[in-house]
């Protein structure tokens, strides 16, 4: 089985993954689950959280991990992506965890597999980062499980964020009715995602239960479109004063990497309402759940 797009998962499947993640949180090391399986990590773009958490997840389940150094691989001698995949398939790789800048790379790999290997999207294109959105939803569920009655504000560069698009999908499937997208016009999505949009930060986060902050994805926009960091922080950076507009028990999330002093202040990032490092921790449990569900 594969994980290509957040939209491929329904509510029952998301809840199954929550149960599996809870199981791995209670007992992280279960090395019989993927014993004698090989998981290959193919990261064509940089990563800290996703790459390391998939590697730790696979090792906790007993898999052998093949972390291909693409810069030192024969792709540098113009070997194609498909020839690389098929070479690894010939060595009995059971799962490919893939990060790539192109939207359709994971589906392209799936369509051309010669074996029953699984493909897991570790973020691709500008639309989808399903494993991150699953761990985010799971982290909310642990603290505020009544999704139907939550107000969730996603703040920042939503237009270029792969996390935001997958999050919007999962949160809607889980029943969130008050889902707000907050940011300057240039960062709001071009397409109608059936969410309320706000360019005014204060109105956007007023009485929110969850404030999810996103980084400006400078690498995905023209230099001329990148806002000045100082004025962006003044208008859209989450500070302790602005956070007071949300509910007193609101939780603050960020998928990382953070740019402190741009979209979030250090006081908020390291403050008592921040659950950013719990997201990182849950990332390993959710990726264990995914590897168990898809590769076992």
**Binding track, positions 131-150, relative to ligand CP; x by CB under 6 A:** -x------------------
Long-range contact set of residues 169-175: C-beta below 8 Å, sequence gap at least 24: 169/6, 169/7, 169/133, 170/6, 170/9, 170/14, 170/133, 170/134, 170/136, 170/137, 171/137, 171/147, 173/9, 173/10, 173/11, 173/14, 174/11, 174/14, 174/137, 174/141, 174/147, 175/147, 175/148
Q: Give alpha helix (H) positions in 11-161.
A: 11-26, 49-60, 81-90, 105-111, 130-143
Which of the residues 226 through 255 are near ligand CP (CB under 6 A)?
255
Residue from 40, 50, 128, 282 that binds ligand CP (CB under 6 A)? Answer: 50
Task: Tell me how far, at minimum, the Cβ of 47 lies from ligand CP, in Å.
Answer: 3
**Of 37 and 123, which CB lies nearer to ligand CP in the complex structure?**
123
**Of 49 and 59, which CB lies nearer to ligand CP in the complex structure?**
49
Q: Which one from 2, 50, 215, 254 is the annotated catalytic residue?
A: 50
Going by C-alpha positions, the residue among 194, 3, 17, 228 that lies closest to residue 109 is 3
257 binds ligand CP (CB under 6 A): yes
Residue from 10, 13, 31, 48 that binds ligand CP (CB under 6 A)? Answer: 48
**Of 95 and 253, which CB lies nearer to ligand CP in the complex structure?**
253
Residue from 2, 60, 123, 287 that binds ligand CP (CB under 6 A)? Answer: 123
Q: What's phi and psi for 211, nearest 5 deg?
A: -120, 115
Residue from 25, 49, 144, 220 that binds ligand CP (CB under 6 A)? Answer: 49
Q: Give catalytic status of residue 287 as yes or no.
A: no
Task: Tell me how far, at minimum, the Cβ of 123 lies from ligand CP, in Å.
Answer: 6
Bridge partners (DSSP) of residue 155 are 182, 213
Q: Give catalytic status of residue 49 as yes or no.
A: yes
**Of 59 and 206, which CB lies nearer to ligand CP in the complex structure?**
59
Residues 131, 166: Cα–Cα separation, whole Å: 9
Q: Give catalytic status of residue 77 as yes or no.
A: yes
Residue from 47, 126, 197, 259 that binds ligand CP (CB under 6 A)? Answer: 47
CA atoms within 13 A on the CB side of 103: 5
Going by C-alpha positions, the residue among 134, 109, 120, 115 that lies closest to residue 41 is 120
| Positions marked catalytic | 49-50, 77, 99, 129
Residues near ligand CP (CB under 6 A) are 47-51, 123, 132, 255-257
């Amino acid at each position: 089985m594969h994980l290509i797009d957040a939209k491929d998962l329904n509510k029952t499947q998301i809840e199954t993954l929550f149960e599996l993640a809870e199981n791995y949180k209670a007992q992280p090391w279960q090395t019989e689950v993927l014993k004698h399986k090989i998981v290959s990590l193919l990261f064509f773009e940089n990563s800290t959280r996703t790459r390391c958490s998939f590697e730790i997840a696979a090792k906790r389940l007993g898999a052998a991990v093949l972390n291909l150094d693409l810069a030192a691989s024969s792709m540098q001698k113009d070997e194609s992506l498909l020839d690389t995949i098929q070479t690894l398939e010939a060595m009995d790789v059971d799962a490919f965890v893939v990060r790539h800048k192109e939207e359709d790379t994971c589906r392209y790999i799936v369509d051309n597999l010669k074996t029953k290997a699984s493909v897991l999207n570790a973020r691709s294109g500008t639309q989808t980062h399903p494993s991150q959105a699953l761990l985010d939803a799971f982290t909310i569920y642990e603290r505020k499980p009544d999704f139907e009655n939550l107000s969730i504000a996603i703040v920042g560069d939503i237009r270029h964020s792969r996390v935001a698009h997958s999050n919007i999908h999962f949160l809607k499937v889980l029943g969130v009715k008050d889902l707000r997208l907050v940011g300057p016009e240039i960062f709001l999505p071009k397409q109608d995602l059936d969410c309320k949009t706000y360019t005014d930060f204060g109105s956007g986060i007023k009485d929110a239960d969850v404030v999810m902050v996103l980084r400006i994805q400078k690498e995905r926009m023209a230099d001329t479109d990148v806002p000045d960091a100082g004025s962006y922080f003044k208008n859209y950076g989450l500070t302790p004063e602005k956070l007071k507009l949300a509910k007193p028990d609101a939780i603050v999330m960020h998928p990382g990497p953070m740019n402190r002093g741009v979209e979030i202040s250090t006081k908020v990032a390291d403050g008592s309402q921040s659950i950013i490092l719990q997201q990182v921790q849950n990332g390993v449990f959710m990726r264990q759940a995914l590897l168990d569900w898809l590769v076992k």
